[in-house]
Amino acid sequence: MGFNEYESKAYLSLVKQGPVSAYQVSKDSGIPRSRIYDVLGNLSEKGIVMVEEIEAQTRYSPLPVAIFLEKARSDWESTYVVLEDSLKQLETETSRDDNRIVTLKEKQSIVSYCASLIQKATKRIVLSVWDDMYELLKAELEAVSKDVSIQGITLHVEEPTGNLEPHRITTFTEAPSTERWFILSIDSNEMIYGPSVNDRDLAFYTDDPIHIHLLEDYVWHDVLVNRLAKRNQDELDAWITKERKAFFIH
């Protein structure tokens, strides 16, 4: 919030103690006495600490917490607007000639990135997703579903939005060893894919057209096989299981 360690400790000490001398702030906060007057002076300049002279003694009191928080919110919002405009302008001006495959980490960052891509969609979203990731993105998907075509396949999702097709239940989908991967493609221009964010804080972003084409084609084949299998599920499931084992045998 723009305060260094000593400034933070000094303000917290004043919030706890109320109007006190610089010596008392130093003693309570652990700030060296040689630094305390400079620290309190800086906070006074920032309008966070109030100074009063009482009977030849200087006492310091904190800006009330409610006012401090409102001031901090206002300062942050102003900074955010300036930062947002500057960064977006820089991003627009910076050209990238090479297509990329970038590693994303941390669950909330991955989910937020996916949500921002969904909001950017103008024509089409291709999706392959299990229920855990679907729930994290459900609100964004429903918000764009009237204006954007949403196609693909879901697993363990009841009544998915758009043209998403529920995947049939098989021995493979229910096996404990099965990875719960997701694929999210936006207008065939950008894509994020990876394992379940509840299992691993890892995903991949790409704007490489070949990469995107291959994974969109993978989703389409999954949809196609799912539709074919529904016509005669018992017989085809047994055959698919046998063929999968033969293909992936180690």
Per-residue model confidence as pLDDT tens digits over 18-64: 889 999 999 999 999 999 999 999 998 888 888 888 777 889 988 88
Instruction: Based on the fold, state whether residues 143 and 216 are members of the same structural domain.
Output: yes
Please tell me the predicted confidence (pLDDT) of residue 93: 65
In the structure, what pLDDT confidence band is assigned to residue 174 with cuts at 50, 70 and 90? confident
Do 50 and 153 lie in one domain? The reply is no
pLDDT band at 240 (very low <50, low <70, confident <90, very high): confident
Do 231 and 157 share a domain, yes or no?
yes
In a domain, 87, yes or no: no
Mean pLDDT value of segment 211-234: 85
More confident residue, 93 or 176: 176
Output the pLDDT for position 71.
Answer: 83
Domain that holds residue 127: 101-247
Residues 30 and 123 in one domain: no
What backbone phi and psi angles, to 5 degrees, belong to 88? -65, -40
Question: In which residue are the tokens 């764009």 written?
Answer: 144
Indicate the pTM of the whole model: 0.62
User: Virtual CA dihedral for 65, 66, 68, 70, nearest 10 degrees?
Assistant: 160
Residue 229 resides in a domain: yes
pLDDT of residue 114: 93
- What pLDDT, on a 0 to 100 scale, did the predictor assign at position 98? 65
In a domain, 35, yes or no: yes
Q: Tell me, yes or no, whether 126 and 226 share the same domain.
A: yes
Is residue 75 in some structural domain?
no
Indicate whether 92 belongs to any domain: no
> What would the pLDDT profile of 76-102 be if each residue is shown by its tens digit?
888 888 888 888 888 766 555 567 788
pLDDT at 26: 94
Local structure of 188: helix, strand or coil: coil
Q: State how many domains the chain has.
A: 2
Q: What angle do CA 206, 207, 209 make, to 5 degrees?
A: 115
Average pLDDT over residues 135-164: 92
131 and 19 within one domain: no
CB 114 within 8 A of CB 192: yes
For residues 142-166, average pLDDT: 91
Are residues 41 and 143 part of one domain?
no
What is the C-alpha separation between 114 and 197, in angstroms, rounded? Answer: 12
Asked if residue 219 and residue 111 are part of one domain, the reply reads: yes
Structure-token pair, residue 132: 């855990």
Question: Could you tell me if 135 and 188 lie in one domain?
Answer: yes
List residues bridging with 58 in a β-sheet.
Answer: 53
In contact, 219 and 182? CB cutoff 8 Å: no
Asked if the structure places residue 203 within a domain, the reply is yes
Whether 197 has a pLDDT exceeding 90, the answer reads no
Asked if residue 32 belongs to a domain, the reply is: yes
Q: Would you state the pLDDT for residue 190?
A: 94
Question: 116 and 54, same structural domain?
Answer: no
Does residue 116 fall inside a structural domain? yes
Whether residue 74 has pLDDT greater than 60? yes
- CATH assignment at residue 51: 1.10.10.10
% of the chain beyond a pLDDT of 90: 46
Predicted local distance difference test score (pLDDT) of residue 234 = 63
**233 and 134 share one domain:** yes
Amino acid at position 214, single letter: L
Contact 44, 6 (CB under 8 A): no
Pair (131, 180) in one structural domain: yes
CB burial readout 210-240, b (16+ within 10 A) else e:
ebbeebbeebeebbeeeeebeeeeeebbeeb
CATH code, 214: 3.30.870.10
15, 39, 63 - which closes a domain: 63
- The per-residue pLDDT for 225 is 85
